[in-house]
Amino acid sequence: MRLLSIKNKGGVLSKIFSICNQKGGVGKTTTSVNLAAALSLNNKKVLLIDMDPQGNATMGSGVNKYDLEYSLADLLLEDNQNVKEIICSANEGFDLLPANQALTLAEVKLLEFKNRELVLKEIIKRNNIEYDFVIIDCPPSLNILTVNALAVSDAVIIPTQCEYYALEGLTALLETIDKIKMSVNQNLKIGGILRTMYDPRNNLAQDVSSELESHFGKEVLNTVIPRNVSLAEAPSHGSSIISYDRGSKGSMSYLALAGEIVKISK
């Protein structure tokens, strides 16, 4: 997959991936934080953007969302905000554009902007953002924040649980992606459907997984994220799975995902 990335003033190409699914609790934030950490471990310079007012990616990266002087909301709403003042370093080797509840109000205000779908894109273009990868953790809805994320992305990764309603939700999301391609971002690609919280002992999970493969073919990523208790525990320590339990199956799977993403980005 060739990605036509944004070239910033310094000429550096950032590969921008949105982690997106309007369905809640499918592993978007877990994937965003751990993919960012795994890419950093591979010596990639990574920026994680928390695009969700829940601020879970912020907390999961070890940054307290209640202590933020500035957050993504300020950056989206104020023209003269310096992005470098807002970006903070997570303990995990990557940089973070943090978010909290203030983003809910920003979402409402964005709707009044003329260029409302392109606010994040213009910020990234305007500022000298030099990263190998930018990962955007989207909220569980197809709102203006998600549209901003998709409008600036090279590709979208879709975490999906292998459950009965998975296919139905995916169809709605793929239709939205098509609309984005026809309007604000014709270069947007499907980076891949990522099977998350997979339990191989569960027959339904096996069936849905096979159905995803036959229906979406190559768009299904090879890496499968298993259900793993360490992955659920790590955020309460403000850690990625790699620093929390490096040898766990969850950690291995996100390292494998990082390898796969690096490969498909070339």
Residues binding ligand ATP (CB under 6 A): 24-30, 52, 54, 56, 140, 196-197, 225, 227-228, 231-232, 235, 250
Residue 228 interacting partner from ligand ATP, Mg ion, none (CB closer than 5 to 8 Å by kind): ligand ATP
**Are residues 253 and 35 in contact, defined by beta-carbon separation less than 8 angstroms?**
no
Q: Least distance to Mg ion from the beta carbon of 80, Å?
A: 30
Whichever of 28 and 195 has its CB closer to Mg ion, that residue is 28
CA dihedral for 108, 114, 116, 120, sign (positive or negative): negative
Q: Which residue is nearest to Mg ion (CB)?
A: 29
Q: Least distance to ligand ATP from the beta carbon of 88, Å?
A: 20
Whichever of 100 and 196 has its CB closer to ligand ATP, that residue is 196
Residue 172 interacting partner from ligand ATP, Mg ion, none (CB closer than 5 to 8 Å by kind): none
Residue 227 interacting partner from ligand ATP, Mg ion, none (CB closer than 5 to 8 Å by kind): ligand ATP
Residue 58 interacting partner from Mg ion, ligand ATP, none (CB closer than 5 to 8 Å by kind): none
Beta strands in the chain (DSSP E): 6-7, 13-19, 46-50, 88-89, 95-97, 133-137, 155-161, 189-198, 220-226
Q: Least distance to ligand ATP from the beta carbon of 13, Å?
A: 27
Q: Least distance to ligand ATP from the beta carbon of 236, Å?
A: 9
Distance CA 96, CA 78 (A): 19
* Exposed e or buried b per residue across 27-55, where buried means at least 16 C-beta atoms within 10 angstroms of its C-beta: bbbbbbbbbbbbbbbeebbbbbbbbbbbb
Whichever of 6 and 51 has its CB closer to ligand ATP, that residue is 51
Whichever of 6 and 37 has its CB closer to ligand ATP, that residue is 37
In single-letter form, the type of residue at position 21 comes to N
Calculate the alpha carbon distances from 251 to 1, 26, 28, 142, 197 in Å.
25, 17, 16, 29, 13
Whichever of 27 and 238 has its CB closer to ligand ATP, that residue is 27
Distance CA 97, CA 111 (A): 21
Q: Least distance to ligand ATP from the beta carbon of 164, Å?
A: 17
